[in-house]
Structure 1
Amino acid sequence: MVREQIDRIGVVGAGTMGSGIAQVAATTGYDVVMRDIESEFVENGFDTIDDSLGRLDSRGDLAEEPATIRDRIEGTTLLDDLGDCDLVIEAALEELEVKREVFADLERVCDEDILLATNTSTLSITSIASDLETPERVIGLHFMNPVPIMEGVEVVVGEKTTEAATDLAHHVAEDLGKTTWEADDKPGFVTNRILMPWINEGIRAYDEGVASKEDIDRGMELGTNVPMGPLTLADHIGLDVCLHASETLHEELGDRYKPAYLLTRKVEAGDLGKKTGKGFYEYE
C-alpha cells in the first residue's frame, strides 16, 4: 500500500526539472523539500524558481505572492531530510546507475508506504527499481519542460508497480494542475518514443539540404499546427539531452532511432541550444 494523504513532497535534484517540480508543488500548496548534492546547486535551483515566479507574477498568473510560495520550499543537501515526506520525486541525472543509487538511498530513509517516483524520460522504471525490496511503490512521473508551463505529465507503470501506486500518481499530478496520460514501461514511453525520431528527421532534412532550418520549422509549424518546429524545439530541450535520449532509444530499439550526424556534431562542438546561447539558432 502507498500513503494516500500527501502533504509534503520531496524532490531529488534542483536542476531545471527538479526546481520546476518543486515550484509547481509549492504553488499548489504543498510543503516541499528540494535536495541536491551541493548547496550551490540548491541555491541555483532557488534562483531559477525566483525568476520563474517573478515572470508568472508579472503576468498575473499567480494566486499568491511569490514569497509565500517560495517559503513553502525547504532546500537541503541531506537525503535524510526527505524521510518525513509523503511522496518523493527523483529528478537527478538521466543515468541508470545514478538513479538506482538514489532509489536505494530513498528506500533506506523513507517509510514503506511512501510513493517513490522518477522523472526519467527514457529509462526503464523496472530497471531503476530492480534492486529494491519494495519495487511495487516505484513509478514514473515524467513532467514536461518547462514544468511550470507545460500541462502534461506522463505516468509510467513499471513491471511491479501496483494499481494503488498508479492511481495515486495520477491523482497527485492532477492535483498539481496537470493532465496525465499513462504509458507502459517500454523504451521512450509515449513522448520521447515519438518525439525523438521527429526531431532527428528534422535535423537530417536540414543537413541534407531539403530546406533551410527556418523553412523546416515554419513548414512543420504551419503544416501540422505544432507550436514550434523540430530544430527550434531541439534547441529549447537542449541538444545534449536530445542526443542522450536518442542514443538510449537507439540502443534499445535499433537504427530507426539512430541520432542524426549533425546533432552529434553540434553537441561535440558544445553548441547545446538555448542554454549555451547557440544551437541551430543563436540566442542572447
Structure 2
Amino acid sequence: MSISVLPAALPKKVGVLGGGRMGAGIAHGFLIKGSHVVVVERDEASALAARERIQSSAAKSVERRAVDCNLDEILSRLEVSVNYGAFGGRKLVVEAVPEIWDLKISSLRAVEEHLDTDAFLASNTSSLSVSRLASGLKRPANFLGLHFFNPVPASTLIEVVIGGQTRPELVDAARRWVEALDKTPVVVNDAPGFASSRLGVAIALEAMRMLEEGVASADDIDNAMVLGYKHPTGPLKTTDIVGLDVRLGIAEYLHSTLGDRFAPPQILRDKVEGGELGRKSGTGFYNWS
C-alpha cells in the first residue's frame, strides 16, 4: 500500500501531543515551514502554557529573520486543544509526552483512535523501544520514531527510528519531512537508546563518575570535551539542559536492557532525589539561577 504524502514536502496538517519544551519546539518547527499544527494538552492551564511557549519561540524566529512570514501568519496556523478529537484529519501526529512507558503507550493508543487509517503516528521517545510501542497499536506499519533534540529550533538533527513493522515507504517519507524542516535525518534500527541517546548517555554517565571521584571539576570535564572534541556543550551542562530526571530515566532503561555499563552513578540519583534537575529547577551540575 502506498503512502499518500506530498513528495519532498511536509504534511499540511500535523498534530503534536504534549506542549512542553519538546512538544512546543516540534510544533514550532512545523509551523514555520507552513504546516497547520494542532497541539493537544491535558488541561486548559497546560494548553495556555503551551501556546505561550510556541508564540515566544515563533516570535524569536521572526525577530532573527529566520522565517519569511510574520508572527500573525505563523500563529494563524496554530491550534491548541485539550481534546484528542482535534487530531481528526491530521496526516501526521508526533507524540511528545514524558518518557514513562505506561503514559507513552496509553497516549499513543488514544491518539490512534482519532486518526484516519492512512495517517501516520510518530513517537519522540529518546530511548524506549519503537517496536514494542508499535505492538500495542492497531496500525504498527504506520508508526515510527522521530527523535527531535532539545532545543528543537536550534538543533539540526532528527533521529528516524525504524520499528520492526514500519513500512519502508514511511521511512522514505520521514526522511523527506526531516529535510523539509531544514534538519538532517539519521536513520537507525530500533535498539535500546538508538544511536544518539546511547552514545550521549554513555559519555554523560562517565563524566558524572569522574566528577564523583574528584577527577576534575564540572567545568574542566566539560571543557575537555568542548575544546578537545569540539562538542558544542560538555556532557554535564548538556545533562542540565536535558534534565537530570530525564537522563536518569534513560540510564535506568539502558541499564535494564544493556547491562551494568549504564548503571546510573549515585551522584545522579542523589541530585534527582534532592530536586536538582538542571536548568528547569535552577540547579543541577551548574547553578542556573
How high is the TM-score relative to the length of structure 2? 0.95
Alignment counterpart, residue 15 of structure 2, candidates 2, 6, 10:
10
Alignment counterpart, residue 127 of structure 2, candidates 105, 122, 130:
122
Q: Secondary structure at the match of 1:275?
A: coil
Q: Secondary structure at the match of 2:23?
A: helix
Give the Cα separation in 2 of the matches to 1:151 and 1:275: 23
Give the Cα separation in 1 of the matches to 2:150 and 2:165: 27
Letter in 1 for 2:174: A
2:48 matched to 1:40? no
Q: Secondary structure at the match of 1:14?
A: coil
Deviation digits for residues 55-76 of structure 1 (CA, Å, limit 9, x no counterpart): 3333332322222212211011
Report what 1:60 is aligned to. Answer: 65
Give the Cα separation in 2 of the matches to 1:60 and 1:138: 35
Alignment counterpart, residue 36 of structure 2, candidates 31, 34, 37:
31
Deviation of the 1:12 alpha carbon: 0.7
Deviation of the 1:250 alpha carbon: 0.6
Report what 2:101 is aligned to. Answer: 96
2:248 matched to 1:268? no
Give the Cα separation in 2 of the matches to 1:193 and 1:76: 34
Give the Cα separation in 1 of the matches to 2:212 and 2:225: 16
Give the Cα separation in 2 of the matches to 1:244 and 1:118: 17
Give the Cα separation in 2 of the matches to 1:87 and 1:54: 25
Q: For residues 75-86 of structure 1, what are the structure 2 equivalents within 5 Å?
A: 75-86=80-91
2:199 matched to 1:194? yes
Preserved CA contact (<8 Å) 1:200 1:259: yes
Q: Gapped runs of 5+ residues in structure 2?
A: none
Deviation digits for residues 256-279 of structure 1 (CA, Å, limit 9, x no counterpart): 111111111111110111111111
Preserved CA contact (<8 Å) 1:3 1:115: no
Give the Cα separation in 2 of the matches to 1:18 and 1:45: 8
Deviation of the 1:132 alpha carbon: 2.1
Deviation digits for residues 228-266 of structure 1 (CA, Å, limit 9, x no counterpart): 111111111111111111111111101011111111111
Deviation digits for residues 73-131 of structure 1 (CA, Å, limit 9, x no counterpart): 10111101101111111111212222211222222211111111110000011111112
Give the Cα separation in 2 of the matches to 1:183 and 1:273: 29
2:240 matched to 1:235? yes
Report what 1:250 is aligned to. Answer: 255
Give the Cα separation in 2 of the matches to 1:110 and 1:57: 32
Deviation of the 1:41 alpha carbon: 1.0
Q: Secondary structure at the match of 1:276?
A: coil
Letter in 2 for 1:197: A
Question: What number of residue pairs does the alignment pair up?
Answer: 284
Preserved CA contact (<8 Å) 2:141 2:167: yes
Report what 1:212 is aligned to. Answer: 217
Letter in 1 for 2:191: K
How high is the TM-score relative to the length of structure 1? 0.97
Report what 1:138 is aligned to. Answer: 143
Q: Secondary structure at the match of 2:121?
A: strand
Give the Cα separation in 2 of the matches to 1:235 and 1:69: 31
Give the Cα separation in 2 of the matches to 1:131 and 1:282: 41
Deviation of the 1:30 alpha carbon: 0.3
Preserved CA contact (<8 Å) 1:32 1:73: yes
Give the Cα separation in 1 of the matches to 2:148 and 2:50: 17
Identity among equivalent pairs (%): 38
Please give the root-mean-square deviation of Cα atoms over the aligned residues, in Å: 1.2
Deviation of the 1:164 alpha carbon: 1.0
Deviation of the 1:214 alpha carbon: 1.2
